[in-house]
Structure 1
């Protein structure tokens, strides 16, 4: 089917059926593994500076370049999954390969040898980070294309995404809290990081493999070779999908905010609050609890007031919570830390779930206006934007720490940081991240898609 002919008619949505609970749970496990993989990877920034003698600005730059490479590759993986043919579906073979790759590369990243040569260290870490990023893309891009195929009901997608958010929160707990606890359990320092990498790599494989197994009953759509749309034409189609473009611009700012906040968290707890990694684990745990508890409320709010309004409300709440860290430093009462963590989770549960549930809506809108089933390419662009946001946040964290005078260390040597360096950490964690969040909200104001107007907008797009 050509693009021109597909525009000559309107494609109504098929009837939707409720998704089995086991399928929703199983698909959500993929997010648990991916989030733990991603959040745990942010420890690499501190690992590179405090144990591999890498200057923070250089470490942040290498981290960002690996993310940019991954972002460029993501749409390609999406297009490959669109065209793949297999008796287990076009997406799930990638899930199987990605499960093995993610577990292995996480182990390798934290078990890189300490080398005397800076050039050798840079080359080694850059190579490991590229492998690390590629393994994430192999799993994540086809995985994010699946919801648009699994159901046609926007509210079923919201429920599916609520499972993703709950599992994402558990992934935050595993990637942030469990990693920190494991480092402490194995004695801390370089040895603790290496042991944590091995244990977490095995756990990540197990979780992602379980997602592969439990999605065997997911509805699959096979695309005939005669209906294949060239990759560049798919990108042009995406660029004409206004809801999708607005969503991606907003997500870029949102993920940059999250990356700044997450990448600086380990530094903030250790250097600003002067607490151990056990308290980093506590913050992630309270964030997880708040996010999970908030899901029924945000599902109700999205249905009652619309996804855009609910997202904006969650963004305002989260911005105030992030800024509330500013006055606190050494000696902060544990009750305050726990309270702020819980409140951050309440807001996070809204902005994450709602923004993610908008992606399959924009993909369905694309199908209704053109008749094209190119979910993988859209998911690839979505993940690409996610990686670019992570690259922006990670690189800005490293650059800011360098500008504020943060001193790197070798093999875990304890370095005393200046008040100016601690100020830079605090600004990254609280202020700079909030500014990016506000930018995301400003863009989201222009998101045009609502369930009750989706059909009408699609018909107008076809007519145009």
Structure 2
């Protein structure tokens, strides 16, 4: 029997000789990220919506947001395990893509069209229910979706390529969830009416994109559920905990997502309160971020292939941290070209860290099979997304708690409030400093990640038999 870390040359040659997946599958699968990112990024506006229109104190708003994310994170591995054991003519994963498309579109519309409740307790309760529905809808689609790449291809570079398509669509999702939401709010007159109209339009768009993902992946390679290979859920969790590459990836992702949540959740406050600009400029930041991320993908893909994913992540993370910190000296009267340049540069770095970290997940899942023979992709995807949710919870709750600590004043129905200088300081620290610190910690943790393309060409007897069965 081959040792898990001894290269198998014949297996490597077989993998390299295998034909690439059809372009339709790269595009179709990655469309799911366009819808999910729109759903997630757009939801960060809920934090400002809660404080400025529902009169919920920022600390309570952040806490409610975090609790909903924690609930979702705990539920994610369960959704993954369920999808591992699902039997249907659409495979194990795609039925949940179909259901999740409806759920995500509907709950996004509902979140921004909730009635204005005059009592604080009523507003908090209503928003808690909406956020739980919002989080569950995301999990129904996202967990099975993230388990699919490990089934679709065995080739590490093909997974990197697949994830580069995902990053492009994730960037377009940032555009839809950031630029389009902000632009639509302004287009529909701003205020409460603008938020409500935006929620309907973006919700319909999310539904259409996620349904397209379901339809276009109908020819993806599937692995059917085999009850003889069923692994009890608790044993799956123990196996995941013993997978060193996966656990290191989880630690790095927790810090990365906390950084991203801090940066994104405070962005609307930073533009409006620190730069004293309209939401249209928030849209500009998201737009330039998207452009930078998309145009950088060929560069980062070549970097990952030549220097390895870990080194590429390090370089991209350090570059992005420098750009985030570059916002610190800017305030009212910032020239528009500065916003465009910083936004583009942030996108260039973002494209690397997102693509590389996402392509490491199917590698870690494949490593699990090489080590144990277990096919539990859904559970790994569930744990991976659980950490995403925990990172989002940490970042979003910190924004709310810090704004409360620095004296941010909530409002009802969008009433204009002059914020104290201390609140502006808190917003600036969240956007430029605290988020950067979390990102740097993520880079440090990822330095311990052990897998590369050489180790991922390894194939033990069980894996070779599995490929023969698939063929």
Q: CA deviation at 1:457?
A: 10
Q: Structure 1 length as normaliser, TM-score?
A: 0.96
CA distance in 1 between partners of 2:129 and 2:366 (Å) = 37
Give yes or no for contact 1:368–1:455 (8 Å, CA) kept in 2: no
Q: CA deviation at 1:308?
A: 0.1
Give yes or no for contact 2:79–2:140 (8 Å, CA) kept in 1: yes
Q: Please list, as runs of the form range in 1=range in 2, the aligned pairs for 1:365-444 lying within 5 A after superposition.
A: 365-444=367-446
Give yes or no for contact 2:97–2:144 (8 Å, CA) kept in 1: yes
CA distance in 2 between partners of 1:205 and 1:176 (Å) = 17
Q: CA deviation at 1:454?
A: 3.5
CA distance in 2 between partners of 1:143 and 1:200 (Å) = 21
Counterpart of 2:280 in structure 1 is 278
Alpha carbon RMSD of aligned pairs, Å?
1.7
Give yes or no for contact 2:188–2:194 (8 Å, CA) kept in 1: yes
Give yes or no for contact 2:408–2:419 (8 Å, CA) kept in 1: yes
Counterpart of 1:306 in structure 2 is 308
Q: Give the 3-state SS of the residue equivalent to 2:454 in structure 1.
A: helix
Q: Indicate whether 1:135 and 2:137 are aligned.
A: yes
Q: Please list, as runs of the form range in 1=range in 2, the aligned pairs for 1:51-200 lying within 5 A after superposition.
A: 51-200=53-202
Give yes or no for contact 1:63–1:394 (8 Å, CA) kept in 2: yes
Q: Deviations over 1:137-174 (max 9, x none)?
A: 00000000000000000000000000000000000000
Counterpart of 2:467 in structure 1 is none
Q: Indicate whether 1:322 and 2:320 are aligned.
A: no
Q: CA deviation at 1:19?
A: 0.9
Q: Structure 2 length as normaliser, TM-score?
A: 0.94
Q: CA deviation at 1:120?
A: 1.2
Give yes or no for contact 1:287–1:345 (8 Å, CA) kept in 2: yes
CA distance in 2 between partners of 1:44 and 1:342 (Å) = 25
Q: CA deviation at 1:17?
A: 3.3
Unaligned runs of 5+ in 1: 1-6, 460-464
Counterpart of 2:464 in structure 1 is none
Counterpart of 1:229 in structure 2 is 231
Give yes or no for contact 1:365–1:458 (8 Å, CA) kept in 2: no
Give yes or no for contact 1:273–1:329 (8 Å, CA) kept in 2: yes
Q: Indicate whether 1:361 and 2:363 are aligned.
A: yes
Give yes or no for contact 2:53–2:192 (8 Å, CA) kept in 1: yes
Q: CA deviation at 1:324?
A: 0.3
Give yes or no for contact 1:223–1:373 (8 Å, CA) kept in 2: no
Range with greater deviation from structure 2 (220-229 or 267-276) = 220-229
CA distance in 2 between partners of 1:458 and 1:285 (Å) = 46
CA distance in 2 between partners of 1:218 and 1:458 (Å) = 25
Q: CA deviation at 1:453?
A: 2.4
Counterpart of 1:4 in structure 2 is none
Give yes or no for contact 1:17–1:151 (8 Å, CA) kept in 2: no
Q: CA deviation at 1:283?
A: 0.4
Q: Deviations over 1:314-341 (max 9, x none)?
A: 0010010000000000000000000000
Unaligned runs of 5+ in 2: 462-471
In the alignment of these two chains, the number of paired residues is 453
CA distance in 1 between partners of 2:33 and 2:457 (Å) = 30
Q: CA deviation at 1:56?
A: 0.2
